[in-house]
Structure 1
Amino acid sequence: MVSAGTKAAPGRATAAPPRPAKERDAFFDNAKYAAIVLVAVGHAWEPLRDGSRFVTAMYMLVYAFHMPAFIIISGYFSRGFDGRPERLKRLVTGLFIPYVVFETAYTLFTRWTDQEPDRPVSLLDPLYLTWFLAALFLWRLTTPLWLRVRMPLALALAVAMLATVSSSIGSDLDLQRTLQFLPYFVLGLLLKPEHFRLVRRRAVRIAAVPVFAGAFVVAYWAVPRMTGGWFYHRESAEQLGAPAWYGVVMTPVLFVCSLVLVVYFLSWVPGRRMWCTVLGTGTLYGYLLHGFLAQGAKYWGWYDPAWIHRPLGALAVTVVAAVIVTLLCTPPVRRALRFVVEPDPRWLFRRESGEAGRDRVAVPG
């Protein structure tokens, strides 16, 4: 060791000063927090749709853009995936292992809540929320391809359209949903910081008010005329009771509609640090954990009281869902459950030279 004030020996390279950590953009953390709240609220509204056209319209409106927004942001943060060994390791530890853990946990939980003791644990058939982990794993693996082909967005849309006309795509890895949501991920890969700056202009924020008001009116009108299954993107057109060619038309139409709503949703997201900014770094926790309460609520009879299905009850359910998912994104919960959601299985990989002191980077939620 060279003592203070002593020159390093000739020919010996001095250690380079550590590079400062790249500061997180508060806008994206705020956006992820807002999106995960909408995900939880949408799941909480599901049992309230029967008998309430208003709740069903709100449910349909939220489902038109909340997962597309989440997926676009995930694609944006996947631009650096190049298939290098360290990236693959993060993919395994950040997505594959949590997928195995939560697919098993949700299956066991469903055995209890649905009274199906013989329900098998199948890693090929994602249960409930785990489809997103499987889809993101596949999307990220194919990122280098999408960044190199010509017209990647047009190609991804073509793949999604072909998926909707094919009823033969099975449930393995929820491939139908993976392919239909693919264009949103590819769009995220193609976006640059300046695109998000354009979205956050004052004129866009002002226009968002009439746009969302009009979208709600359309959703309210569509409730008795259109199945909300189109927004789940998990079934083909024929499985939704429509001719196969409907999928070719509906896919680009829904993509444009969802993209418009995502743009105006993001226009309302603050760009400064707020109380919720830190929660945006834990959205994967909120996403994976709130599903147990969403499923268990029906089993425990939380929706049985008649007042829950009235306007005041719907408002109470909305607030409770938002509070619960917020708590699940907090640092104490993340510290307590990091070993499950963001495991560090060093035993699984061989240590490469020069890797000893490298910090683990969490996969963006």
Structure 2
Amino acid sequence: MVRQMFPAGYERAPLPPAQPEGERTAKVADRSPKPPTRTSGSEQGRGRDPFFDNAKYLTIVLVGLGHAWLPLRSDSRAAEALYYALYTFHMPAFIIISGYLSRSFEARPGQVKRLITGIAIPYLVFEIAFTFFIRAVENPDREFTLLNPGYALWFLVALFIWRLTAPVWNALRWPLPIALAIAAAATTCPGIGNDLNLQRVLQFLPFFVLGMRLRPEHFEMLRRRELKVAAVPIMAAALAFAYWAVPRMNKDWFLRDNAAQDLGVPWWVGVVMTLALFGCALLLTACFFAWVPTHRTWFTTLGAGTICAYLLHVYPIQLSRIYDWYAMPWVDSPTGRIIITVITAVMMTALCTPPVRRAFRWVMEPKLDWAFRRDPVDQARARARG
């Protein structure tokens, strides 16, 4: 009866020959788990790819330069062209890296803890601090709200939302086209409003999803010498096009915080601009990544402090606006613009240094172990490290 349950032609495979007791014991011993081997700190450090730390540092410097150049645009078409070119790719590059580093997010307890302590808590603290700062130096009646992120703090809100949705993008078959469709649809919906800066969250979403889909071999392709050389004329052409576009294009397209109708154009223009800016951003971001050093440099360690620079540079930038530092006579000249650029680069570098990170670790990396359950995966990894 049992044989009738199997298809015709089925025959039970013969049992393997018996093995001597000694051989069986040896094979079982080979399959037993081996004790973890300890690695030195330098060996563990070599597992971290310096390319991404270099890229993070360079992009955060560009973020600071973009904010510092903003008041210089009205006096110089060349400065405006640099602003256009920079805003085409500097935030997309930063977001692509963030997406790439979020590929393994699965909402495990340890990952959720780091999401809350590393993004949500700093946002709450710095949003409150920024509100009191603006009340003290400019507007005593500034409204207190956590739904309208202050200057530059929108990125923490966006990163929190994007990373929470990472398991969804990992599960989809065509995540990037879907993300592009969402971004394009957002440009046609002026009713989305400013709560949590959702326009930017949705319009920048494709870059985060793209970063999640990238693999190490994609970045390896950009390290080829011919691509480094090709990036030079591409960047030069982008600057020339930006110079031509200055009097013809609204800079607010680069900020991605408005719908097309808010910019005075039909809804379908938003769809076209979404795809066009995405393509331009990819091209210039690839050029930028091609130039990022792949070896350890003097600024590699500074890549770990980019969140400090991002959150802290807001205050001197705002002070420069409030007290009109740009009105000083020496600023309105090519030499003055160069000096502003150097000062900003030095400031962003200083804010990435380990002493600044240590000083603000209590708020940017709070432990709060008492508020969270322990993650079994993290505990197992800690035991494996010895």
**Shared topology, TM-score over 0.5?**
yes
Q: Does 1:100 align with 2:124?
A: yes
Distance in 1, matches of 2:79 and 2:136, equals: 29
> Which of these two proteins has the greater Rg computed from alpha carbons?
2
Q: Does 1:273 align with 2:296?
A: yes
> Tell me, which stretches of 5 or more residues in structure 2 are unaligned?
1-32
Letter in 1 for 2:64: A
Letter in 1 for 2:91: M
Name the structure where helix makes up a greater proportion of residues.
2
Equivalent in 134, 146, 153 of residue 169 of structure 2? 146
Equivalent in 235, 259, 277 of residue 212 of structure 1? 235
* Alignment map for 1:104-143 (pairs within 5 Å): 104-113=128-137, 115-143=138-166
What's 2:316 paired with? Answer: 293
Shift, 1:51, TM fit:
1.8
What's 1:363 paired with? Answer: none
Distance in 2, matches of 1:354 and 1:157, equals: 34
Please identify, of 14-23 and 254-263, the stretch whose mean Cα deviation from structure 2 is larger.
14-23
What's 1:284 paired with? Answer: 307
Shift, 1:351, TM fit:
4.5
- Give the match's secondary structure for 2:191: coil
Shift, 1:112, TM fit:
2.6
Letter in 2 for 1:75: G
Normalising by structure 1, what TM-score? 0.91
Shift, 1:240, TM fit:
1.4
Distance in 2, matches of 1:282 and 1:184, equals: 22
Shift, 1:352, TM fit:
6.0
Please identify, of 132-141 and 46-55, the stretch whose mean Cα deviation from structure 2 is larger.
46-55
What's 1:91 paired with? Answer: 115
What's 1:78 paired with? Answer: 102
What's 2:215 paired with? Answer: 192
Residue deviations 1:91-136, cap 9 Å, x none? 00110000101111111112233x2212122111111111000000
* Alignment map for 1:172-321 (pairs within 5 Å): 172-321=195-344
Residue deviations 1:288-341, cap 9 Å, x none? 111111111122332121220211110000000000000000011111111121
Letter in 2 for 1:192: R
What's 1:158 paired with? Answer: 181
Distance in 2, matches of 1:294 and 1:61, equals: 21
Shift, 1:357, TM fit:
9.4
Distance in 2, matches of 1:238 and 1:40, equals: 30
Kindly indicate whether the alpha-carbon contact (under 8 Å) linking 2:109 and 2:373 is maintained by their aligned counterparts in 1: no
> Tell me, which stretches of 5 or more residues in structure 1 are unaligned?
1-12, 360-365
Distance in 2, matches of 1:318 and 1:352, equals: 45
Equivalent in 72, 77, 99 of residue 53 of structure 1? 77
Letter in 2 for 1:76: Y
Distance in 1, matches of 2:96 and 2:123, equals: 20
Residue deviations 1:61-80, cap 9 Å, x none? 10000000000000000000
Shift, 1:354, TM fit:
8.5
Q: Does 1:62 align with 2:86?
A: yes
Identity %: 53
Q: Taking structure 1 as reference, are residues 301 and 356 closer, same or farther at Cα in structure 2, changes over 3 Å only?
A: same
Normalising by structure 2, what TM-score? 0.86
Equivalent in 47, 59, 67 of residue 35 of structure 1? 59
Residue deviations 1:340-360, cap 9 Å, x none? 21111223224467877987x
Distance in 1, matches of 2:151 and 2:183, equals: 21
What value does the CA root-mean-square deviation take over the aligned residues?
1.8
Distance in 1, matches of 2:377 and 2:340, equals: 51
Distance in 2, matches of 1:354 and 1:130, equals: 31
